[in-house]
Amino acid sequence: MDIVRTAAELAKRTEGRGRVAFVPTMGNLHEGHLRLCEIAREHGDVVVTSIFVNRLQFGPNEDFDRYPRTFEADAAALERKGVDVLFAPLEQEMYPTPQVYRVQPPPLGDELEGAFRPGFFDGVCTVVLKLFNLVRPDAAVFGKKDRQQLKIVRGMVQQFNLPIEIVPAETVRSADGLALSSRNGYLTPEERAEAPNLYRVLRGIADAIVAGRTDYANLEVAGRAELHERGWKVDYIAVRHGLALRIPHPEGFDHPNLLIVLAAARLGNTRLIDNVDVVKQEGKD
Ligand code: PAF
């Protein structure tokens, strides 16, 4: 595996090697990221992974400084996975001058995650667009755990006519249901034992919808209350339509197959997000 720090070196490693499949990451890699790399292999001749902790997507009170940087272990894991090129730009390469031009996300960028993390999707879209311009991928793989990110990036690619196929990847979970996340490493042993309840509560709401409930607001309130009693601080639990993440019709006219349930909640100092398809179907995204 080649490790490159600059766009010029990267271009030398990818030119003339066929289709480029790309996995953007912020490092601190876990099995979920490595699964994205496996999927990338199915979509390209050369697999490029990036590691760049993007300052623009962290709010002033968020964890940019304490975000885990584990470069050596990450590079070794990517090498074992058969990734061809690791693009690990320095801050200077990505932001040689202050990034005053930004991508303005759609209104969805102010909802759900965006309502609790102002500027987050502006930061994500801006760095993803820059990475796309530097890597020039034919396909890029994004995990469904960050469902809203996946939707917004896909919309950006469509509306800016970028010739990139966005490939969604299923969330990888521990045996107890907890979605793998770099932030799980912040959890104390007690919090780690509690954490799978986020998934359990979301799954419970999804199952209730499958069983015929259409009073989504009541289900959201009950889910919040249950997590609150268990010591969580819930930012949101929301039933949304899976295609554009719009609020479902209040009369329950949306087919349950198309609904998803999303949440973000804090355990101690750690903020976790997750989402489930009400009915799991491959290829829905
Ligand atoms: O999902 C992430 O890890 C980040 O938001 C991304 C897409 C690498 C942009 O910094």
**What pLDDT score does 283 carry?**
60
- Name the pairing type of β-strands 233-241 and 259-267: antiparallel
Rounded CA separation 147/282 (Å): 14
Phi, psi at residue 23, to the nearest 5°? -125, 105
Mean pLDDT of 25-33: 97
- Residue of the nearest CA to atom 8 in ligand 1? 25
Ranges in the chain annotated CATH 3.40.50.620: 2-169
Is the CB of 152 inside a 6 Å radius of any atom of ligand 1? no
**pLDDT digit string, tens, across residues 172-208:** 999 999 999 999 999 999 999 999 999 999 999 999 9
**What pLDDT score does 209 carry?**
96
- The CATH H-level (homologous superfamily) assignment of domain 2-169 is HUPs (3.40.50.620)
**What pLDDT score does 252 carry?**
83
Distance 123 CA to ligand 1 centre (A): 9
Q: Is the pTM of this model over 0.85?
A: yes
Ranges in the chain annotated CATH 3.30.1300.10: 182-277
**What pLDDT score does 284 carry?**
65
Rounded CA separation 66/247 (Å): 34
When the pLDDT of each residue in the chain is averaged and rounded to a whole number, the result is: 96
**pLDDT digit string, tens, across residues 65-75:** 999 999 999 99
**What pLDDT score does 161 carry?**
98
Instruction: Tell me which architecture the domain covering 182-277 has in CATH.
Output: 2-Layer Sandwich (3.30)
Flag whether pLDDT at 281 surpasses 80.
no
Task: Give the torsion through C-alpha atoms of 224, 225, 230, 232, to 10 deg.
Answer: 40
Flag whether pLDDT at 53 surpasses 70.
yes
Q: Pick the more confident residue, 285 or 277.
A: 277
Report yes or no: 70 and 36 within 8 Å, Cβ to Cβ: no
Is the CB of 146 inside a 6 Å radius of any atom of ligand 1? yes
Count of helix runs (H) and strand runs (E) in the chain: 10, 9
| Angle at the Cα of 35 from the Cα atoms of 196 and 161, rounded to 5 degrees | 110
- Per DSSP, the three-state class of 117 is coil
Structure tokens at 162: 């970028």
**Helices 31-43 and 71-81, interaxial angle, to 10°?**
40
Task: Give the torsion through C-alpha atoms of 211, 224, 58, 154, to 10 deg.
Answer: 20
Residues involved in catalysis: 33
Distance 223 CA to ligand 1 centre (A): 28
